[in-house]
Amino acid sequence: MTIPSPIPRRIAHFDLDTFFVAVERLKDPTLVGQPVLVGGRGPRSVVATASYEARVFGCHSAQPMTQALRLCPQAIVVPPDFASYRTASEGFHAVLREASPLVESVGLDEAYADLTGIGVAADGPREAAEAARRRVRGELGLAVSVGIAGSRTVAKVASDRAKPDGVLDVPVGGDAVFLAPLPLRDLPFLGPRAEERLRAAGVRTLGQLAQLDERWLLATFGSHGLGLARRARGIDPEPVHSDARAAVSVSREVTFGEDVTDLDRLRQVLRAHAEEIGADLRASERRARTVTLKARWPDFTTFTRGATFGQPLQTTEQLSSAGASLLDQLFVQEGRHPVRLIGLGATNLVEDAVQLGFEDGRLLHDQQLDRAIDEIRDRFGNDALWRGLAPRRRWR
């Protein structure tokens, strides 16, 4: 009896090209062909996305906007429109879910899809990827680059190499050969410090990294070093998860345009963070045992404080109160300072299975109020209703 050969694993990484810029150009075609920077104009604003026309001048995402405009003063700065980006993203992911039963979103503009066994011929995965690209282009007006390989790691590297608006299909069994000549910085999860240490040891390419002695890697980088070498050989068994994995935390933070000294304003911002975090927790039917505060002074000194509670939290009032208490503790311990950044996080998440007693009347009231507000916002939009003490994002 002949044992059939296993179907080769084919993972695709889909990545929308300059996503925010592309959406803005759909709204305003005069931006086509122009150097465009999506982001704010404030002294602390950063570039969310730079068009390819702006990148030739050295502009890139996460760069201070002031620096980007020095490099490309003729660039057109467009404020971000996240409602439009979310709508486009939903359409993009809907197309991918029709192409494969196993699709994992890893952001508004990118996703992994398992195309193993798709189609009746060996080139079935590529045909499926090309069909999805055509639909995204035709229905949404957006360009998407795709990498196809035997693992998530190599598919991600391939999609980066396929940009802009291309497909790179790494031959079955050719992942290691494809990676070998590439520079170290192309490997996901290899940070600048690790790259610096590897370069000091004479390592320049992923092929050289793949051949390093595992004992040296273990001694130099710990278990992370072994993982880097395996991925450099194209070995990455992580599957594509068809459903989004449960979040391990939910957080919000904001960097102010000007340092804030007003304690009441800081508490208002924490309350606005609590509004959004609480809504996320309720939507995912989760509660948080731990609340964390993050604060940064103007000199970039950053502090975090946390508190863990016996009864998991979910309501806006609980989260806001916990954040305000942690802020008070921080100021007592470190002294009052102007604040550059403030954030609130909910971690140590558990299922929403808390049983309330007769003594929890206030908590029950808060939960009912939160859910009523959630329903109104779901139906009429996030700006349909705001609590009296919560700022309407003007502090951003």
Does 110 participate in catalysis according to the annotation?
Answer: yes
Measuring CA to CA, how many Å separate 379 from each of 157, 365, 375, 385? 40, 21, 6, 11
Alpha-carbon distance of 117 to 137, in angstroms, equals 25
Task: Locate 226 and state its tokens.
Answer: 């072994």
The vertex-248 CA angle with 243 and 249, nearest 5°, equals: 120
Cα 54 off chain centre by: 23
Catalytic residue among 24, 53, 104, 110: 110
Measuring CA to CA, how many Å separate 318 from each of 120, 269, 366? 55, 15, 9
DSSP calls for 133-182: HHHIIIII---EEEEEESSHHHHHHHHHHH-SS-EEEPPTT-HHHHHTTS
Alpha-carbon distance of 121 to 103, in angstroms, equals 21
Question: How many residues are there in the chain?
Answer: 396
172: β partners: none
Catalytic residue IDs: 110
